[in-house]
Each structure stands twice: as structure tokens, then as C-alpha cells.
Amino acid sequence: MRKIYVLDTNVLIHDPRSIYSFQDNEVVVPIFVIEEIDHLKRNTTTAIQARTAARVIDSIRKKGCIAKGVEIEHGIFFRVEIQNDVELLPTTLKRDVVDNLIISATLGIKKKNPNMKVVMITKDINMRIKADALGLEVQDYETDKIEYKSLDDGHIEMEVSSEIYNKFNKSGKINVWELEGEHHLTENIFVKFKNGEESTYGRYNSGKIRRNLHGNIEAWGARARNDEQEYAMELLMDESIKVVSLVGKAGTGKTLLAIAAGLEQVVERGLYKKLLIARPIVPMGKDLGYLPGSEEEKLKPWMQPIFDNIDFLADSKGEKTGEKVILGLQTMGLLKIEALTYIRGRSIPHGFIIIDEAQNLTPLEIKTIITRAGENTKIVLTGDPDQIDSPYLDADTNGLTYMADKLKNEAIVGHVTLKKGERSALAELAAKLL
């Protein structure tokens, strides 16, 4: 049975091609959504998605009159709803609020199509509550949803015989088919072999598990403190791995390890020409509004966690203060710290790129960032899907979770979930109990 799906603005911003996700159904976009998209084109954080969504709708417009409706691929009938039945709203709801106008348009569509199921699709929780209270069927957009709890940790444990254990220890590698039982391993997953009280580990790649080569090294004064951090360091220091995702709660060391590995390979080894660190500008709680000063001064409050990590590394390495280290590296052109907005649309060759707080990005934004990578560039994305500040994302729909799942079988991509806190005993206690 064909249904009518009414899309909210945030759905098109989240996925500009979401129109094509409702096969063999009707897709309707209220005219108010088009107005909001036009407004969001001038917002630096949503400009790319808004313009992409506008281009998608414009490409459909060229096929026919979108007010009457156009047949597009996958058996979808698309149209823009220009009528508005504002009288269908209860008097308690304001008539000049765009969300309410989109709801009233949906109520009108439902009234005109009594024999068809009408479903509103929105990523706005409050809008879903209001629409449901007014008798509308409403759903979240879940086409790109990945269940965070089912995401691979990037490492497993395996009990093996003494023969297998000793063979791996002696040769440093073993074929998967030599292991007892059937094993379906994803590329670059870490395997911890256990034989009684003894244990050792390696990384799976192309049918073989090979001993780690880079995990237990010191990178710019930092060294892994537990197995998970060793796995992360192995991926960060391996030049053949081009994309690394590090997921974990606060204090697990994901950002610190990424920065240490980046500084080691850029400053000490010269494997990359520059280290670029960026994070999305998404405020937690009330925004402070416009900040005075130069670009660098405006960004400092947002980038302070990065400065804190470099300060810690500089201190552990016996260097001068982190601020002087940062200034020195920036003067030499080896380090660039900036807002994520500024790296969009660029091509970055020979760079080590760290995207911190990547859980606040949509799947489209993650794709946009990764496609910036030029020749000999490595991208590291760190974040905690349980700490999302964006109002339209959650642990299952953010770009970090999406990317880690979608690219898990690629030979040049690695992922590790870090669970053990190393910041301090107090921080670990708070992360667990509060």
C-alpha cells in the first residue's frame, strides 16, 4: 500500500538525497521547508547540506511541475505542497512558527487523502511529540541508522591451543584457516590470543593475523597504557591505514593518542607535511554568542581541549610550555588548528588530519570531510556517541557511528572502541557512575 511521506527540513539537511529513500511511495515537501532551506544556505554550519538539498529538488523540478507532482526513480511520486490548512491547528499553537506550519500542512494532506497513510518524517524530537499529540503518524529518519550498541569494538579475544599460540609467537603471523572453528573477521580487527594465563595479540588483514608492530612505541612522549590504547596506536602509526575511527567515553585517551601520533609523524619523522586538527563548533548548553577578537581568539574557547592535550604532551616530553610549542609549530607551517567549517571544499594532500568530537557530525558531513583527503593523507576521527550536542543526532544516527560501521571491511580503514579510562581514577569513577 502506497503511503505519503511528508519530510521536515532537518531530514533534508541530514541527508539531502533522503527524497529517494521512500521507494514506491509519495514524498511531499511543504513549501515552508523550501523557505527554511533557502535561509539555511546562509548558515555556515548548514550551507553545504542546504545547497545540496536545493540542487536535488531543482533537478526534480526540471522533470516537470513539482506543484502537481513528478514521477522519479524507484517508483516515487514527488511534489511540493503549497497549500496550508492552518485552521487545522489548535488555537494553543502559534501560527507564525515554521514547525507548526509544517505540521498544519501535513494535517491538510491527511485530510485530503483519507484513504492513504500519511507519515511525517522529522529528526526533531519536540516536533515528533507535537505531531503525535495532534493525531499524526510520525517517525524519525532511520535510513542511515546504525545501532551503536551493535558496533564492533575493533578487537576480540580468542582462546587457542598451545600449538597455535606458540606458532604465532614464533613466526609473528598465522592464517585464519589454521585456527579452530569458523571465524568471520573484519579487516584490521585486533585479535587477542589467550592460552591459559598467557596472552598475545595481532591484527587481522587479508586472511592473516600478524603481530602488532607499532602499538608499543612512544609517540611524542606518549605511550599506550592498556591493550585498547595499543590497538589504537597501531592503527595511528601504520602508514597503510588511511582512515581511523576512535570511539570512547571521556578519559580513554582517544584525542591524546591521535595528537601524539600526529605530532610524531609530522614533526619527528616527516611522514606528512602538516598536522591539521579541527572540531565542529557545536555549543554544549547555552551559546556564548559572538566572541570578540581575531579568528584565533574566537576559536580558542572551542579549541582549548586540543591545547590542553598538546600542553600535556609537551610537559611529558620535557619541552617548553604547550603554548610555545603550538606557536613554534604553527610558525613552521607544521600545525594548523581550525574550525571544521574551514576545511570543507578543500583538497588536503600529505596531511595528518584529526577531527575531534566527530560524533556531532552527520553522515553527509563525515563523507564531505573524508573526500577532502588528497594523496598521502590520513584522517583520524575521534568522539563519544554517548555525548552528542547536536539536537538532531543520537548515538545511532551520527556520522562517526555510521562511518565506523560502513567502512569496517576496508583494508585501509581501522576502528577501535576504547573503554578503559586513563585520565584519572576520579574521571573513571565519574564516567562509570554519574
Q: Delineate the domains of the chain, giving CATH numbers in brackets.
A: 3-139 (3.40.50.1010), 222-433 (3.40.50.300)
Whether the CB-CB separation of 280 and 302 falls below 8 Å is answered with no
Residue 378 clears pLDDT 80, i.e. is over it = yes
Residue 320 clears pLDDT 70, i.e. is over it = no
The reported pLDDT for the residue numbered 374 is: 87
Q: Which grid coordinates are listed for 114?
A: 483519507
Indicate the pairing of strand 218-219 with strand 117-121. Answer: unpaired
Q: For the chain, first and last CA: distance in Å?
A: 47
What is the average per-residue pLDDT within 9-13? 95
The reported pLDDT for the residue numbered 341 is: 72
For residues 315 and 95, which has the higher predicted lDDT (pLDDT)?
Answer: 95
Q: Whose grid coordinates read 609523524?
A: 265
Residue 395 phi, psi (nearest 5): -60, -25
Residue 356 clears pLDDT 90, i.e. is over it = yes
What is the average per-residue pLDDT within 413-433? 83
What is the average per-residue pLDDT within 227-239? 95
CA distances from 368 to 244, 358, 406 (A): 16, 13, 15
pLDDT band of residue 384 (cuts 50, 70, 90) is very high
Beta bridge partners of 245: 381, 415
The reported pLDDT for the residue numbered 181 is: 79
Give dist(CA 41, CA 58) in Å, integer. Answer: 15
Give dist(CA 199, CA 194) in Å, integer. Answer: 4
pLDDT band of residue 322 (cuts 50, 70, 90) is low
The reported pLDDT for the residue numbered 288 is: 43
Coil, strand or helix at 327: helix
Model pLDDT for residues 283-316, shown as the tens digit of each residue: 444 444 555 555 566 666 667 888 888 888 888 7
Q: CB under 8 Å to 302, separation ≥6 — which residues?
A: 279, 281, 339
Coil, strand or helix at 81: strand
Q: pTM score, two decimals? A: 0.84
Minimum mean pLDDT among 186-190, 275-279, 299-303, 330-334: which range?
Answer: 299-303
- Residue 343: DSSP 8-state: G
CA 95, 101, 103, 104 torsion-angle sign:
positive
Q: What is the mean pLDDT of the chain?
A: 89
Minimum mean pLDDT among 110-124, 229-243, 377-391: which range?
Answer: 377-391
pLDDT band of residue 259 (cuts 50, 70, 90) is very high
Minimum mean pLDDT among 39-43, 78-82, 117-121, 125-129: which range?
Answer: 39-43
Coil, strand or helix at 278: strand
pLDDT band of residue 344 (cuts 50, 70, 90) is low
Q: Whose grid coordinates read 601524539?
A: 260
Residue 336 clears pLDDT 50, i.e. is over it = yes
